Amino acid sequence: MQKFRIEDDLSYQDTETIRRQQQRLLHEHLAYCRKYSPYYRRILADLPEKSFRLEELPSLPLTAKSDLAQHNRDFTAVPDTEIADLCFTSGTTGHPCRITYTRQDLDRLAYNDALGFLATGMQPSDNILLTCTIDRCFIAGLAYYLGVLKVGATAVRNGLNSLESHSEIIRAGGITGIVGVPSFLAKLGQHLRDSGIDSSAIRQVICIGEPLRNREMQLTPLGEILETFWPGAVFSTYASSEMVTSFTECRQRCGGHPPADLAIVEIIGEDGQPLPPGQCGEVTVTPLQVTGMPLLRFRTGDISFQLPEKCACGRNTLRLGPILGRRAQMLKVRGTTLFPNVFFHVLDGIAGIDNYYLEVSGDALSDELDLYISFHSGDLDSLHIREALYARSRLHINLHCVSCEQARLKVFGTSRKPMRFFDLRQKQP
């Protein structure tokens, strides 16, 4: 019997049923961690072997990315013969970590992404263009592919390819959905328009790796650009290799829903305790039904918030707001605290900019910001870059012009994901 079936989705069940099922799955998860995970067998040794209620989850230890890096092999809960796939995190916030998946985990992954794709309206008759890599030990690309197949749709694996290559596939007809990084998809949309290629058949533009909404749940400038090419078709997602679970917007497009049977989600404050809906804190996830590398209260390092109201789509799962920034990337500049996205959202809305990246240096007292920008038309003065950044941040920062090639190599040359933040700050002992 297949373990993960789309028809078993809990999303539309009543709140009490979801709660009861999560309670059962949490009990099974803790028992599995104690028995098979060397790391958690050690960490949980002093805690009573009882059935922890959901309300007691905050009393259990947190797991940081540094724990995963330092004790990496001890997190694997299966013998090597049961490992079906090895991936490595992208390393955007530190050294890449080894993540193991069993065959059951891959089936879980397909189920997870299929539920997200179905929430956007994907159908078995769709042809989905995948513009992200499926190789280079990148689990997300494999997840999207497996999810499309689980829906019953057709995957078109063109991967990390040129604008011209993707455009020719779209020109040939039949593509009804795209999965990709929004900053790249914005360039693709412009290229299609400039080339006179009709892409109106595309009903889902599923965006990965970069947020599309702000704290007020309004579209960012980048999201607005995508909407000009594909009105009403743009969906935001959030996921990570470690938590093996994604948050995908439904047709209401007002927050990402996680599958209730795959994750228990907390938003925690500095003290590690859960915050109420609406308050910003660190996204912390306990992935359920994972066998290869189970995690408990995994701190993602990403800052967001839970939306308080139930979604109009009828799902009774929580809704996660956009990622406002990464905890490790928080900036402190002359008494002002902010995240890099403050600058990035401004630059995304200026048409003449080709690419950009931010380098941060300094000591514990104040950060020094150097923003490097390339242009395909205009320059710093003619596009009023300084004024636009100051109006949004009330900060004067160092701006530098670089070539398009230099910016492209910096942003896309060291990671599978676009890297626009480079931390050169002096680390405190």
* Domain final position from 275, 298, 325: 325
Q: What is the pLDDT of residue 40?
A: 98
In a domain, 304, yes or no: yes
pLDDT at 128 over 60: yes
Give the range among 54-68, 82-96, 208-222, 334-348 with minimum mean pLDDT: 82-96
Domain of residue 392: give its range: 330-423
* Same domain, residue pair 354 and 319: no
In a domain, 264, yes or no: yes
Q: What is the pLDDT of residue 92?
A: 54
CA distance 249 to 312: 12
> Which of 99, 81, 78, 80 has its CA nearest to residue 90?
99
| Confidence tier at 428 by pLDDT (50, 70, 90) | low
* Same domain, residue pair 227 and 291: yes
> Which of 361, 420, 359 has its CA nearest to residue 182?
420
| C-alpha distances in Å from residue 334, one per residue of 327, 397, 398 | 19, 11, 14
CA distance 338 to 329: 9
Q: What is the pLDDT of residue 366?
A: 80
Contact 333, 395 (CB under 8 A): yes
pLDDT at 95 over 80: no
In a domain, 204, yes or no: yes
Per-residue pLDDT of 361-405, as tens digits, reads 987 678 899 999 999 999 999 999 999 999 988 888 999 999 999
* Same domain, residue pair 104 and 201: yes
Per-residue pLDDT of 241-277, as tens digits, reads 898 899 999 999 999 999 999 999 999 999 999 999 9
In a domain, 116, yes or no: yes
DSSP 372-399: EEEESS--TTTTTHHHHHHHHHS---EE
If DSSP codes are grouped into helix, strand and coil, which group holds residue 126?
coil
In a domain, 319, yes or no: yes
Residue 159 sits in a domain whose CATH number is 3.40.50.12780
* Same domain, residue pair 131 and 230: yes
* Same domain, residue pair 94 and 157: yes
Contact 96, 89 (CB under 8 A): yes
Q: What is the pLDDT of residue 429?
A: 45
In a domain, 428, yes or no: no
| Confidence tier at 49 by pLDDT (50, 70, 90) | confident
* Same domain, residue pair 376 and 270: no
| C-alpha distances in Å from residue 304, one per residue of 191, 265, 383 | 33, 12, 31
* Same domain, residue pair 337 and 313: no
* Domain final position from 267, 301, 325: 325
pLDDT at 330 over 90: no
Residue with tokens 């929004």: 182
The percent of residues above 70 in pLDDT, for the chain, comes to 97
E strand map for 40-153: 85-88, 98-101, 127-130
What is the mean predicted confidence (pLDDT) over 293-299?
A: 97
Q: Report pTM.
A: 0.87
Residue with tokens 């797991």: 63
Give the range among 35-39, 126-130, 210-214 with minimum mean pLDDT: 210-214
pLDDT at 100 over 60: yes
If DSSP codes are grouped into helix, strand and coil, which group holds residue 171?
helix
In a domain, 429, yes or no: no
Residue 371 sits in a domain whose CATH number is 3.30.300.30
| Confidence tier at 50 by pLDDT (50, 70, 90) | confident
Contact 374, 404 (CB under 8 A): yes
